[in-house]
């Protein structure tokens, strides 16, 4: 097989010495990881620090879940699994479906009915996953999936799976490669709380310790409230979770780092969402904007170098974007004068 010299290699190959995979183990990869670190001049000016975006939407299926999924599915194949399953608010399902398709195994996903963004649903279905639309919440879906894997030989690929954590910690490695110990502060959205836990693991393994600021949506903030939320509600569907599986670990990670987990409102999330798109040219999904919303709300607190983790890309949730831009499209007849006026902003 011909491989161009610039072809990026699989995440597992790149970080094998830090991951539980030996030479010769099967690898299921879509060339994940190696995502851009992009300066954010507008946000930097607003908070008085050097702010960068870690663009995890650049992963193959459009979210950071791919870092963990390459490891979870590769391990499942190594163990002889014929099927994987997950509960998902959307991105885990999309990622599991893609990696399972690549591996040639069956994938089942359970998603909360009517609560998953269109793009994520489209991805999941076109990759051929068996998709179950549950008349219940994500938290209920996760409880059911955990029970199913006790009784059937199906590999669970939610972030409860240790291989997911191992893969996701590589994002911290990349940040240390680029910023070294200059990185003072990491801002990150928190849903099921796997990702913040994985970052802290990655930083800890390299003995680097930026502060971690985790952000939950006000209507789905169990880690801030100190108790589960029965009916989590937020525009940011990827973090609409009331009972995070790795909640304790996330709280510990934030505390050990000298940081904390706080809330942002939907209004603040959407305001950051629009600002990032309009001024930074960065279209993310609402959950990802929570990291920037939190930074804008609480400030950098003396940090000089800040990274906001942009967990997933905007095109996954077209409805969210269209709801924010209603009435913005200009209708025109096939009439040169009308079109001219519209184009020049005189309509
Ligand atoms: C999964 C996800 C999150 C939340 O990550 P957790 O590990 O569940 O805390 C945030 N944003 C996006 C886009 C996601 O897909």
Residue for token digits 């994985």?
198
What band does 4 get if pLDDT is binned at 50, 70 and 90?
Answer: low
What's the confidence (pLDDT) of residue 347? 59
Is the Cβ–Cβ distance between 246 and 200 less than 8 Å?
Answer: no
The alpha carbon of 246 and the centre of ligand 1 are apart by a number of angstroms equal to: 12
Q: Is the CB of 238 under 6 A from ligand 1?
A: yes
Whether 8 shows a pLDDT value over 90: the answer reads: no
Q: Is the CB of 61 under 6 A from ligand 1?
A: no
Q: Is the CB of 29 under 6 A from ligand 1?
A: no
DSSP class of residue 194? Answer: H
Nearest-CA residue for ligand 1 atom 2 is 238
What sign does the CA torsion over 31, 81, 194, 185 have? negative
Reported as a single tens digit per residue, the pLDDT across 98-115 is: 999 999 999 999 999 999
Q: Is 260 helix (H, G, I), strand (E, B) or coil?
A: strand
Q: Is the CB of 193 under 6 A from ligand 1?
A: yes
Whether 6 shows a pLDDT value over 70: the answer reads: no
The alpha carbon of 20 and the centre of ligand 1 are apart by a number of angstroms equal to: 23
Q: Mutual orientation of helices 91-103 and 118-126 as an angle, nearest 10°?
A: 20
Reported as a single tens digit per residue, the pLDDT across 19-57 is: 999 999 999 999 999 999 999 999 999 999 999 999 999
Whether 10 shows a pLDDT value over 90: the answer reads: yes
Whether 172 shows a pLDDT value over 70: the answer reads: yes
For residue 203, count CB atoms less than 10 angstroms from its CB and return exposed for 0-12, middle for 13-18, buried for 19 or more.
Answer: buried
Mean pLDDT of all residues in 123-145: 97
Which atom of ligand 1 sits closest to the CA of residue 285? 13
Mean pLDDT of all residues in 203-212: 97
Mean pLDDT of all residues in 111-131: 97
Whether 7 shows a pLDDT value over 60: the answer reads: no
Percent of the residues in the chain that have a pLDDT greater than 70, as a whole number? 97
User: E-assigned strands of 17-61?
Assistant: 37-39, 50-55
Nearest-CA residue for ligand 1 atom 15 is 91
Q: Is the CB of 139 under 6 A from ligand 1?
A: no
Q: Which of 62, 72, 91, 157 to mutate to test the pocket of ligand 1 (most atoms within 8 A of CB)?
A: 91
Mean of the per-residue pLDDT values of the chain:
96
The alpha carbon of 326 and the centre of ligand 1 are apart by a number of angstroms equal to: 27
Percent of the residues in the chain that have a pLDDT greater than 90, as a whole number? 96
Reported as a single tens digit per residue, the pLDDT across 269-295 is: 999 999 999 999 999 999 999 999 999
The alpha carbon of 86 and the centre of ligand 1 are apart by a number of angstroms equal to: 14
DSSP class of residue 109? Answer: E
CA pair distance 112, 318, nearest whole angstrom: 18
Q: Which of 68, 189, 282, 315 to mutate to test the pocket of ligand 1 (most atoms within 8 A of CB)?
A: 189
Can you read off the two tokens belonging to residue 74? 């590769």
Q: Is 70 helix (H, G, I), strand (E, B) or coil?
A: helix
Q: pTM, whole model, 2 decimals?
A: 0.96
Whether 308 shows a pLDDT value over 70: the answer reads: yes
Delineate the domains of the chain, giving CATH numbers in brackets: 11-62+164-324 (3.40.50.1100), 65-161 (3.40.50.1100)
76-108 in b/e burial notation, b at 16+ Cβ within 10 A? bbbeebebbbbbbbbbbbbbbbbbbbbbebbbb
Q: Is the CB of 312 under 6 A from ligand 1?
A: yes
What's the confidence (pLDDT) of residue 307? 98
Whether 155 shows a pLDDT value over 90: the answer reads: yes
Mean pLDDT of all residues in 224-252: 97
Whether 204 shows a pLDDT value over 70: the answer reads: yes
Q: Is the CB of 158 under 6 A from ligand 1?
A: no
CA pair distance 285, 267, nearest whole angstrom: 14
What band does 9 get if pLDDT is binned at 50, 70 and 90?
Answer: confident
The helix or strand, by DSSP H or E, that contains position 196, with its residue range, turns out to be helix 194-205
């Amino acid at each position: 097989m011909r491989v161009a010299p610039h072809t990026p290699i699989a995440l597992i190959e790149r970080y094998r010495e830090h991951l539980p995979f030996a030479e010769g183990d099967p690898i299921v990869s879509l060339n994940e990881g190696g995502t851009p670190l992009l300066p954010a001049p507008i946000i930097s000016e607003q908070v008085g620090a050097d702010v960068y975006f870690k663009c995890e939407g650049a992963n193959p299926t459009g979210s950071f879940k791919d870092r963990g999924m390459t490891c979870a599915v590769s391990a499942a194949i190594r163990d002889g699994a014929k099927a994987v399953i997950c509960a998902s608010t959307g991105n885990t399902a999309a990622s599991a479906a893609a990696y399972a398709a690549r591996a040639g195994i069956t994938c089942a996903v359970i998603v909360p009915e009517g609560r998953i963004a269109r793009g994520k649903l489209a991805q999941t279905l076109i990759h051929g996953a068996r998709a179950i639309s549950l008349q219940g919440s994500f938290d209920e879906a996760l409880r059911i999936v955990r029970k199913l894997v006790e009784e059937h030989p199906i590999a669970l690929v939610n972030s409860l799976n240790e291989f997911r954590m191992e893969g996701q910690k590589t994002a911290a490695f990349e940040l240390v490669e680029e910023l070294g110990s200059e990185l003072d502060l990491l801002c990150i959205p928190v849903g099921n709380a796997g990702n913040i836990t994985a970052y802290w693991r990655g930083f800890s393994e390299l003995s680097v310790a930026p502060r971690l600021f985790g952000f939950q949506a006000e209507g789905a903030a169990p880690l801030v409230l100190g108790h589960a939320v029965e009916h989590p509600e937020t525009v940011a569907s990827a973090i609409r979770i009331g009972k995070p599986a790795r909640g304790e670990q996330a709280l510990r990670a934030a505390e050990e780092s000298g940081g904390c987990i706080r809330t942002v409102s939907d209004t603040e999330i959407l305001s950051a969402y629009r600002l990032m798109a309009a001024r930074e040219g960065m279209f993310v999904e609402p959950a990802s904007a929570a990291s920037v919303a939190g930074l804008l709300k609480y400030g950098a607190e003396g940090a000089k170098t800040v990274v906001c983790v942009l967990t997933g890309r905007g095109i996954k949730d077209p409805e969210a974007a269209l709801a924010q831009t209603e009435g913005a499209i200009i209708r025109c007849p096939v009439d040169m004068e009308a079109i001219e006026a519209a184009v020049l902003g005189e309509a």
